[in-house]
Amino acid sequence: SAVISQKPSRDICQRGTSLTIQCQVDSQVTMMFWYRQQPGQSLTLIATANQGSEATYESGFVIDKFPISRPNLTFSTLTVSNMSPEDSSIYLCSVERLAGDNEQFFGPGTRLTVL
């Protein structure tokens, strides 16, 4: 399985500020995904990040609010911009292995609290 790390593991932020979350994978992967898990809820896909191209956002999520970078095959960042308390969630990075065999693994998550 791929080893995925995320930074920071948790943070408490003030309303109106922005936070950038990093996701690092120990092997090259084709697709990286960013999910949000609001308190007590299921996971919702924010966007799909393919290396060398713009991220593809799901309905309800926009690039201005959640800009994503994917500079290489092992790294991605998600920024939560102009935060409000409603953005308090766990943000999880997920990867699909290069083999494309549909194995998808998740990082440990970043627990964000917005005051």
Give the residue, chosen from 41, 72, 82, 84, that forms a contact with other proteins under the rule CB under 8 A. 41
Instruction: Kindly state the number of chain residues that form the binding site for other proteins, as judged by CB under 8 A.
Output: 25
Question: Applying CB under 8 A, does 13 fall inside the site for other proteins?
Answer: no
What's the CA gap between 5 and 82, in Å, rounded? Answer: 24
What's the CA gap between 66 and 57, in Å, rounded? Answer: 9
Give the residue, chosen from 19, 21, 25, 33, that forms a contact with other proteins under the rule CB under 8 A. 33
Question: Applying CB under 8 A, does 73 fall inside the site for other proteins?
Answer: no
Over the window 74 to 103, marking each residue x when it contacts other proteins by CB under 8 A and - when it does not, the resulting string is ----------------x-x-x-x-----xx
* Cβ count within 10 A of residue 93: 27
Tokens 């991605």 -> residue: 76
Contact window for other proteins (CB under 8 A) among 19-27, 37-45, 63-71, 76-84? 37-45
Tokens 């790390």 -> residue: 5
Question: Applying CB under 8 A, does 27 fall inside the site for other proteins?
Answer: no
Question: Applying CB under 8 A, does 71 fall inside the site for other proteins?
Answer: no
Cα pseudo-dihedral 35, 18, 72, 53, rounded to 10: 80
* Cβ count within 10 A of residue 16: 10
